[in-house]
Amino acid sequence: MNWHLLGLTFITVFLSELGDKSQLAAIALSGRSQSPRAVFLGTAGALLLTSLLGALAGGAVAEFLPTRLLKAIAAVGFAVLAVRLLWFNNEASQDEL
């Protein structure tokens, strides 16, 4: 096992998950629940499953597409999201006023 890769992946996911909406949902659920342990196990299981699916899907896609193309697809996807957030989200908030 590549321990360096394991540690790097752990740190990256840990830092990216701090303060996201799933963590806030877990805080809200555990605050109203009689069993915070069950909330912890449920959220931990969900994060493990989504991470497993992402790793398996990434490995499968990497078999068919070259890394450079995958990076280009990801870059275009993030650029599209940025444009939508900058222009279209602003129009929606003006309509609500």
Taking only the tens place, the pLDDT of each residue in 57-94 is 988 888 999 989 988 998 999 999 889 888 876 655 55
- Residue 33's region, left for phi above 0, alpha for psi from -120 to 50, else beta, is beta
Distance CA 41, CA 62 (A): 31
pLDDT at 69: 92
Computed over every residue of the chain, the mean pLDDT equals 85
